[in-house]
Structure formats: structure tokens, C-alpha cells
């Protein structure tokens, strides 16, 4: 695909590894130019070089810690200056650390809340400012299947942040901002660096390319909400909403 028939520019945060890195590869393969942000710039730059060689796409990179809310706005606007326009922003940066509340590990839960939710709000603020000025844009927020119900132990804060992200997306859709599409993606068990410590035989776990392919497909369709991969997470998602907490506890 040549530069002349490019499909637009996608900005992805948390793009140095895991789902973010694989989304970058797959969007580039579809013909998108990229603006990639992450804290680990060495890995980010290596990924950018890989994508340039394999696809010929234009890839911009920037260092970004999404908990630095002032930096989020500055980096997003700088990337717009460098790319000319940003057509889609994928709010993906996140961490999976956590501990049971009240067990002396408050720093892990606060770090998760700051990165996953406060950071997501900062990214959404910056993206919406850009999209309102442009008159168009597609905001994609990466939530989780864990957002559908309260989770126990070390998952409690993580699940709450992901529920907050889903609520943020719904609120923006309710606002019906002209020219703006909003998607919230709820991934199920997709193998990534974040969950590398999880038992390899976890039920329904899929490899990174397979899981991300389902995510990218839903994003390309501009789905308002998607449980991915659809099997088994679509029926499980519907069930999770109504099952008693005692049953949910055994499933998670």
C-alpha cells in the first residue's frame, strides 16, 4: 500500500509491548500510519523500525508516562503537529498490578488506579480536544471483561478502573458529539506481557496475534462495545452481568 492511499493515522498509548505493540503491527499492515507512545522508548523505537521495514508506513514515536497528566496533552498535541492529523486514538496504556485492599499494598492499587483510570481520563481529555478541533475522530478505550462485575483480591482495583473506562465511553456516546465515534473494547484472556505470570493453561486464553486480530476487527467496524474474541466472551459477558456473585467468583 502506497503513501497516497494511506488510511489515516492511529495514535496508540502503551505501545511498547503486549497488546499495544501488536495493535501497532496490525494497524500498519492495514495501511495506517502510526503515532506510538510509551515509557520504554528503546522498545518503542525498535518496534517503529520493525514496522517501517515490514510495511513502509510512517511511524512517529514519543516518550509518555500517562500518569503525568500535563505531559499527556503536550505529547498528543506534538504528535498532531508532526502527523498533520490523528484519526483514531487508542487509550491502551495500563498496568495489571494490585493487591487485596487493606493488606498493606496500597501503593500497588494506587498505581493501578492512577495509570488505568486517571491516565485514561487525561488521554481522553487530550484526544477529545483534538477531535473537537478537527471535527472528526475515533476514540477507542481498552477496558476488560473484568469490568463487567466486581472482582476479588488483587483484581478488585484493576476491575474497578476498567469499569470506570467503560463508563467514560458510555458517557461520551451519550453526549453524541458530532463527528466522534467512541468504542470500548473488552478483551478476554489474551496472552501478553502483563499476564505472562498467569498459568499457561488458563481456560479460553488465546495468543497475542489472535486476540488482537479480534480487537482490531471490532475497532475497524467502529463497534460501540465489543467483547473479544467473540467466542466465548460474548455469551460469557452476557452471563456475567446476571449471574450471582457466588457463581462469578468461581469463574474468575
Rounded to an integer, the average pLDDT of 101-120 is 95
pTM, to two decimals: 0.91
- Give the model's pLDDT for residue 217: 97
C-alpha cell at 85: 492529523
pLDDT > 90: what percent of the chain? 78
Residue 157 and residue 114 in contact, taking contact as beta carbons nearer than 8 Å: no
Over residues 7-22, the pLDDT tens digits come to 899 999 999 999 999 9
Q: What is the mean pLDDT of the chain?
A: 91
Whether 189 is catalytic is no
Place of cell 511498547: 16
pLDDT band at 192 (very low <50, low <70, confident <90, very high): confident
User: What are the DSSP calls for 69-127, one per residue?
Assistant: HHHHHHHHHHHHHHHS---EEEE---------TTSS-HHHHHHHHIIIIIHHHHHHHHH
Determine the Cα–Cα distance for residues 61 and 37; give it in Å rounded to an integer.
6
Q: Residue 89: pLDDT above 90?
A: yes
- Beta-strand ranges (E) seen in the chain are 9-12, 33-38, 59-63, 88-91, 137-142, 180-187, 225-228
Q: Which residue has the higher pLDDT, 121 or 97?
A: 121
Place of cell 515509557: 39
Domains and CATH numbers, the chain: 3-251 (3.40.50.720)
Residue 140 and residue 96 in contact, taking contact as beta carbons nearer than 8 Å: no
C-alpha cell at 150: 466486581
C-alpha cell at 119: 491516565
Determine the Cα–Cα distance for residues 189 and 212; give it in Å rounded to an integer.
11
Over residues 29-86, the pLDDT tens digits come to 999 999 999 999 999 999 999 999 999 999 999 999 999 999 999 999 999 999 999 9
Which residues, 6+ apart, have CB-to-CB distance to 93 below 8 Å?
13, 14, 20, 37, 38, 64, 66, 115, 119, 120, 123
- Give the model's pLDDT for residue 159: 94
Amino acid at each position: 500500500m502506497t503513501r497516497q492511499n494511506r488510511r489515516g493515522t492511529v495514535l496508540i498509548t502503551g505501545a511498547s509491548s503486549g497488546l499495544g505493540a501488536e495493535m501497532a503491527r496490525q494497524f500498519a499492515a492495514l495501511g495506517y500510519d502510526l503515532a506510538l507512545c510509551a515509557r520504554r522508548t528503546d522498545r518503542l523505537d525498535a518496534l517503529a523500525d520493525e514496522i517501517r521495514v515490514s510495511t513502509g508506513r510512517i511511524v512517529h514515536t514519543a516518550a509518555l508516562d500517562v500518569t503525568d497528566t500535563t505531559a499527556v496533552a503536550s505529547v498528543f498535541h506534538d504528535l498532531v503537529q508532526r502527523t498533520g492529523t490523528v484519526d483514531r486514538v487508542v487509550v491502551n496504556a495500563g498496568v495489571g498490578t494490585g493487591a487485596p485492599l487493606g493488606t498493606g499494598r496500597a501503593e500497588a492499587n494506587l498505581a493501578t488506579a492512577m495509570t488505568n483510570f486517571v491516565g485514561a481520563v487525561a488521554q481522553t481529555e487530550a484526544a477529545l480536544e483534538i477531535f473537537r478541533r478537527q471535527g472528526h475522530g475515533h476514540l477507542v478505550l481498552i477496558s476488560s471483561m473484568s469490568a463487567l462485575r466486581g472482582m476479588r483480591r488483587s483484581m478488585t482495583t484493576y476491575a474497578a478502573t476498567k469499569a470506570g473506562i467503560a463508563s467514560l465511553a458510555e458517557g461520551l456516546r451519550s453526549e453524541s458529539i458530532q463527528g466522534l465515534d467512541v468504542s470500548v473494547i473488552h478483551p478476554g484472556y489474551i496472552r501478553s506481557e502483563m499476564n505472562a505470570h498467569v498459568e499457561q493453561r488458563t481456560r479460553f486464553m488465546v495468543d497475542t496475534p489472535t486476540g488482537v486480530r479480534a480487537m482490531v476487527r471490532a475497532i475497524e467496524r467502529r463497534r460501540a462495545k465489543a467483547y473479544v474474541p467473540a467466542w466465548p466472551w460474548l455469551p460469557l459477558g452476557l452471563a456475567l452481568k446476571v449471574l450471582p456473585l457466588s457463581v462469578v467468583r468461581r469463574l474468575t
